[in-house]
Amino acid sequence: MVEHRPTFVTNLECSLTGEVYEADQVHGQSSAGRPLLVRYDLDAMRTQVTRDEIAARPTDLWRWRELLPVRATTDIVSLGEIETPLVPLLKAGGANVLVKDEGRLPTGSFKARGLVMAVAMAKALGITRIAMPTNGNAGAALAAYASRCGIETIVFCPADTPEINVREIAMQGARVWRVNGLIDDCGAIVGEGARQGRWFDFSTLKEPYRIEGKKTMGLELAAQLGWTLPKAIFYPTGGGTGLIGMWKAFAELEALGWIGSERPKMFAVQAAGCAPIVKAFEDGVEHADRWEDAHTVAAGIRVPRAVGDFLILRAVRESGGRALAVSDAAILDAVDDAARQDGLLLCPEGGATLAAYRQALADGLVAAEDSTILFNCATGLKYPMPEAPQALDRHALIDWDAL
């Protein structure tokens, strides 16, 4: 007998037009070509589930099951999705700066949140073959979860994707192809294959459920901070699924009566070499043009065009936040400072959030006394580090002072 966990999903809804779609069916995007959002009966949930009940459960991603789309327990796919810690960054950041360290999740990145949910729903809906474009970490998460439940995966990544990511994807069971282009070029290949019926397109925001996994970052933050929210959140923004998901999570928590109406300022952080959301924000428009000649050391945010651009911009503007671009030099300095001063090894994208925080502090967009969350989206162990070439000959005379 299949155990059904209590979930309150009612329908899916086009994020642009509000058009309603049935739940429990295979969907990609809406007929308007925009992301679909999962909707819940929050009035019913409020009468059946309490905040204290959630707080008393083991602190993993699945504690939020009533606010997640997976109905049957047998469809859950898991590699141990823990609640990630909030780590103070006292020296490199400041007394009120905490890093949400997503590198502790399975496959070493926050992509695990979105992909565990999307793969579980693919399993529930009978999807057997999936393709995805990736800059590295999303492909690794897809490969791991899909292999665990027997779904075939084909992954396309830019040719300059870090070698460790490519090998990780292959090692965990996907067929991985390097493409002479950027992630949206890879996405075009995935889209064409999907149109030919070869696979299901798992590109960012082209299926409804990655947002639901990523929104658990916002749910966790509220619980970890005693059902209050910080003054500011700095989020590394490529496709922006997590920023969109957190904004959705906060609205759902307020509708349940578990938090108030106050919101953090949401800062969408991009690299100066690939900043389409920043340009659209500064131009006052809802949609971002493709960024040409995209380049940055932070490969995870090298996304020239985001399909959810209007949702990212909407959340940033509604929150009173900003879209900020930081240089590669500032990113690398931030990574170096966090490691040397606080012992926390950030990935380049996480370094970008620290660099952006410093910029926002200098520009008066945030104050030093504001409670601030920076997202480190992956373990720094996956990324190139400076050489450490010093060696010691134990047979020679040792210069102890030089040591």
Average pLDDT along the chain: 95
How much is the average pLDDT of 186-205?
96
Question: Does the pLDDT value for residue 5 go beyond 90?
Answer: no
Residue with tokens 């192809």: 177
pLDDT tens digit sequence for 39-98: 999 999 999 999 999 999 999 999 999 999 999 989 999 999 999 999 999 999 999 999
CATH topology of domain 111-201: Rossmann fold (3.40.50)
pLDDT tens digit sequence for 241-259: 999 999 999 999 999 999 9
Give every strand in the sheet of 152-158, ordered side by side: 175-179, 152-158, 129-133, 200-201
CA distance linking residue 395 with residue 289, whole number of Å: 62
Bridge partners (DSSP) listed for residue 39: 11
| CA distance to 105, 271, 295, per residue, from 303 (Å) | 23, 10, 9
CA distance linking residue 147 with residue 126, whole number of Å: 15
Phi first, then psi: what are they for 157, rounded to 5°?
Answer: -135, 150
Find out whether 295 and 331 touch, Cβ atoms under 8 Å: no
How much is the average pLDDT of 110-131?
97
Q: What is the pTM of this model?
A: 0.94
Bridge partners (DSSP) listed for residue 323: 268
Residue spans per domain, the chain: 9-75, 86-109+209-382, 111-201
Q: Please name the amino acid found at residue 35.
A: P
Q: Please name the amino acid found at residue 155.
A: V
Helix, strand or coil, per DSSP, at residue 367: coil
Bridge partners (DSSP) listed for residue 58: none
The token pair at 153 is 């995966």
| Inter-axis angle of helices 163-171 and 137-149, nearest 10 | 10
CATH topology of domain 86-109+209-382: Rossmann fold (3.40.50)
CA distance linking residue 213 with residue 113, whole number of Å: 5
Whether 86-109+209-382 shares its CATH topology with 111-201 is answered yes
Find out whether 278 and 332 touch, Cβ atoms under 8 Å: no
Q: What is the pLDDT of residue 2?
A: 45
pLDDT tens digit sequence for 301-337: 999 998 899 999 999 999 999 999 999 999 999 999 9
Q: What is the pLDDT of residue 212?
A: 97
